[in-house]
Structure formats: C-alpha cells, structure tokens
Amino acid sequence: MPEIAELEQRLTELGERVSWPPTPDLTDGIMARLKAPMVIRRPWFQSRWAMAAAVVLLALAALLTYTPTREAIADWLNLHVIISRVSELPTPTTQPSGGLGTRLGLGYPTTLADAQAKVPWHIVVPSQLGPPDEVYIQLPPEGPPQGEVTLVYKSRSGIKTSGQTGVAVLITEASGTVDDRYFGKMIGPGSTLEEVTVKGRRGYWISGAPHTFFFTDADGQFRNETMRLASNVLIFQDGGTLIRIEGDLTKDQVLGIANSLS
Amino acid sequence: MHPMEGRPTDGELVERAQRGDLAAYEEIVRRYQEVAFRTAYMITRSGPDAEDAVQEGFVKAYQALATFRTGAEPRPWLLRIVGNEARNRVRSAGRRLRFEMRLAEGFRPGDAAPSPEAAAIASEDRRRLLALVNGLSEEDRLVIASRYFLELSGEETAATLGIPEGTVKSRLSRALQRLRAQVEEGARA
C-alpha cells in the first residue's frame, strides 16, 4: 500500500498539471464598483433595507458622536474581527406594505407551540417580558438551515416603541454559533461595541445603528444577517442557539431581559 | 510573503489600502484574483458564478478593510470572504454539479524530457489518480483540491470551506486514507 506521504507527493504533482479555466481580469470591474457610490448587497433581506429613513437618520446622528478606534474594538473582541465601518448607508426605498412579518422580513406568523414543533432547538422566552405579542418563523431556504424564530413585543412599560415598526423589542433565535475568531459586524459610523457576560457566556452589546453581523449557522456555514430594528442590539449564544435582542433598550434593560430567558 | 526589491509586501499594501489608497487595493486584487477565482471555481464549478463571487468578495473585503487587523495575513481572510460568496451562490442556485478536474495537455515547463514510454506511463498514472479524486465525495474532493491543487494552507482551506481548521485536518486525513485504499484497489485490479 502506498504511504500517505507518497500519495501526497503524487497529488501535489498532479495539482501542477490540473487544468483551470483562465482567470479573467476582474480588477477593472472591482475597482469600478469601489469607486462608484457604495451599495451593500443583502443576500437574504433585501426588503429589510426598505426599513426606512430611521436607519439613515440614526447613522447620520451617530456620525457626529464618538467613534471608538478599531484598535479598541479589536481589544474588546480579542482580535480577528471583521467589522466594517461604512461611510455611507444605502438609500432606503419606500417602506413595503403588508404585515409586520413581511415588512421586517420575519417570515410568517405562527404560535410559540407551532414554532417549537418546527424547530429542533428549544425556543426561550424572557419571563421579564412575558409571552410575546406575535411569533414569526422563517424556514429554509429564506431562513437559516434549522429555521429562525422571532418573538415580537409591541409595547412594554419603560421601553420606547419604534415609530417605524410599532415594535418595542424583537428577540430572534436561530441555531448557530458566534465564531469568536470572526465575529464581526457591519456597523454604521458611530456605533459602539462592547463585550458583556450573559448567563455566564460572552455576548456583544452594540449600541448605535448596527446593520449586519456574521455568524456560523447550524450547517457550519459562515453567513451574514441584517438587523431588523435600527436600534441597540445584544447578541449572544445560549447553548447551540444564537439569540439577539433588538430594541431601544439600555444595556441594563437588555441584560435583564436576556438573563430572564428560559 | 517575502518582500522583493521595489515590490511592496502584502502587509504594506493592506496598510496603504486601509488609509484609502485605492491603487494599493488594486494591486492586492491583482495578486490574489487568480487564487480567488480558482477557489471560487472549485466551489461553484461555474466560471460566471466564480467571477461573480470574486468580484463581490473583493468589494466586501474592501468595505471591511478599515478594521482588518494590522499584521495579519490577508490571504486567508480574503479567501474566507470569497469562499463564503461562492458557497452562497451554490446554495441559492440549489445546484449540485459534479466537480470534474481535468489535466492540462502537454508538459509543464521545467519537465525533463522523458522517454515516450515513461511519459505515457506517468500520464496514465496521473489520469487514473485524478479519476479517483474526481470520484470522491464532495467533502473529500474539496479538501484535497484545496490542499494539493490550489496549494492552500490548512488555515486557508478552513477559511475557504467555512469549516474549523481541526475539521480540515481530520477530513483530509480520512480522505487520504480512502484515496489510498482506492489506489491500492486499482493497482491490484
């Protein structure tokens, strides 16, 4: 039987003779796009950008505020970060009509029991907020491999409701993990990012106008997802579930909600 | 990357690009577009999809460049972004085309001129080995093509395929064992 080392040698020699299609010169096309006004492509949630001027206004406001250096962010995240600080945000189109699920791209309305029957992981609910007002589920191919469930809280005392969406808090749960080496976000200018502890685990608290974050889904695939509300967000991993809580919340408020999840 | 006289290192180019020097980023694109294109082609098995993935990947990488960690190697980072774009295209197209590598015709430069018989035997050996590689499962084939045909490092293979480096090692080791068994079987037949 040939030795593995010999086989590796043969494969390397074979590799030198493998035929590839000629590489087209893509430089001009890439550079032309970089010189043009920036448009961020949204593989899943194109329609969510329709989410209106609030995003842009928040980002513009955030532009004027303190911006942490990337070194500071790298320190928080223990390096290997993909964070993109965009200098312009895409111009939103008019807000699409339809129910909340359509407008925010949450999927279709369901109940907690029905959602639980469709996903393999345990859906957690914050005792502090009580049962959600609405529940949505997004299944593949639109959603990640094992689906995604969103709990909607329309109004809760002490929490400001988003004027655009009429939503106070959104809790989104999906099967996946934060890749610590590559946890990253595409954040608007002025957003701040802080590492926090949630139920004994590491989480990330982003205030400002965050947009996209990267995570590893249930199939081990690296993918990016867009935030629904142009507001603060907490992202953390609870077992094999990736949870994010979005809303106009203070850090203490969001940590209180997160710690009450069960 | 070894600095050559008069040629900026990748690190220098990245730093200049981070400061907004588009010409420096253009040079990065030139240096990496071939390995990026072949990587994307290996995943998508389609020239147009590979082109698209590379373009999108390089644009996204530029947008994220502002916070790229100084001193890190840009190659695995770029390949991760391009690999992710390529996999997204395969997923959204729902295609499962077979990945058939072919051998280039003729001798590569620097080959010693073999006797016609020796050349024929070597060529037949290569053809057989490639057929065995082509016959492997998708997972095995991708990891073998990444390491030996594209000559990516373990870190770059992991980044490209979107899997942990430990998984690359174990998958590669199992793939080589399977391939070795098939080579042996072919030799006996």
pLDDT, tens digit, for every residue of A17-42? 888 889 999 999 999 888 875 444 44
Say whether residue B56 is in contact with chain A using an 8 A CB cutoff. Answer: yes
Mutation target to probe the B interface, by most B beta carbons within 10 A, among A45, A222, A224, A225 is A222
Q: Tell me which chain A residues have a C-beta less than 8 angstroms from the C-beta of B155.
A: none
Instruction: Select from A252, A176, A185 the least CA-distant residue to A219.
Output: A176
A 10 A CB-CB count for B56 gives: 22
Directed axis angle between helix B22-44 and helix B74-93, to 10°? Answer: 40
On average, the pLDDT of chain A sits at 71
Quote the pLDDT of residue B62.
85
Q: What does the mean pLDDT of chain B come to?
A: 84
Q: Greater confidence, A175 or A170?
A: A170
Put simply, the answer to whether B183 touches A41 (Cβ < 8 Å) is no
Residue among A8, A35, A73 whose CB faces B67 most closely: A73
Do residues B8 and B112 make contact, with C-beta atoms less than 8 angstroms apart? no
**A-chain residues within 8 Å CB-CB of B33?**
23, 25-27
Q: How many angstroms away from the CA of B4 is the closest CA of chain A?
A: 22
**ipTM of the complex model:** 0.86
Question: Which segment of A22-31, B19-28, B77-86, B112-121 scores lowest on mean pLDDT?
Answer: B112-121
The top-scoring range by mean pLDDT among A67-81, B85-99, B161-175 is: B161-175
Who contacts A205 (Cβ-Cβ below 8 Å, separation ≥6)? A193, A194, A195, A196, A232, A233, A234, A251, A254
Query: What distances in angstroms separate CA A78 from CA A36, A70, A127, B69, one per listed residue?
Result: 33, 12, 32, 11
Distance CA B65, CA B170 (A): 32
Q: How close A20 comes to chain B (CA, Å)? A: 7
CA distance B85 to B32: 15
Minimum distance, in Å, between the CA of residue A249 and any CA atom of chain B: 27
Interface test with B, best of A3, A18, A185 (most B CBs within 10 A): A18
CB contact under 8 A, B66 and A84: yes
Structure confidence at residue A125 (pLDDT) = 95
Contact B79, B152 (CB under 8 A): yes
pTM of the model: 0.52
Question: What pLDDT was estimated at residue A39?
Answer: 42
CB neighbour list of residue A252: distance below 8 Å, 6 or more residues apart: none
* The residue type at B188: R
The predicted pLDDT at position A205 comes to 83
**Chain A touched by B150 (CB under 8 Å):** yes
* Three-state SS at B57: helix
The CA–CA distances, whole Å, from A254 to A43, A194, A232, A241 equal 28, 13, 9, 17
Cα A131 to its chain centre, rounded Å, is 24
Shortest CA gap A15–chain B (Å): 4
| DSSP structure string for A40-78 | ---TTTGGGGGG-HHHHHHHHHHHTS----HHHHHHHHT
B45 and A CB contact within 8 Å: no
Closest CA to A233 of A196, A260, A200: A196
Cβ of A4 and B59 within 8 Å? Answer: no
> What does each C-alpha distance from A32 to A205, B48, B63 come to in angstroms?
35, 18, 14
Torsion of CA A158, A163, A165, A171, to 10 degrees: -30
Q: In the prediction, which pLDDT does B173 show?
A: 95
Q: Which residues contact A78 (CB under 8 A, 6 or more apart)?
A: A180
Query: A83, B30: Cβ pair inside 8 Å?
Result: no
- Average pLDDT, stretch A66-90? 38
Contact across the interface for B183 and A4, Cβ inside 8 Å: no
Residues of A in contact with B102 (CB under 8 A): 18-19
Q: How far apart are CA A37 and CA A150, in angstroms?
A: 33
* Two tokens, residue B19: 């400061």
Q: Which of A2, A81, A82 sits opposite B184 (nearest CB)?
A: A2
Which pLDDT score is estimated for A144?
A: 79
Nearest to A14 among B59, B64, B126 (CB): B126
- What is the structure's pLDDT at B106? 56
User: Which of A103, A153, A114 has the alpha carbon at shortest distance from A137?
Assistant: A114
Q: Classify residue A126 by its DSSP letter.
A: B
Q: How close is the nearest chain B Cα to the Cα of A65, in Å?
A: 18
Alpha-carbon distance of B34 to B10, in angstroms, equals 15
More confident residue, B57 or A194: B57
Q: Does B32 reach chain A within 8 Å, measured CB to CB? A: no
Q: Look at residue A85 and tell me whether its pLDDT is greater than 60.
A: no
Contact A84 B133 (CB under 8 A): no
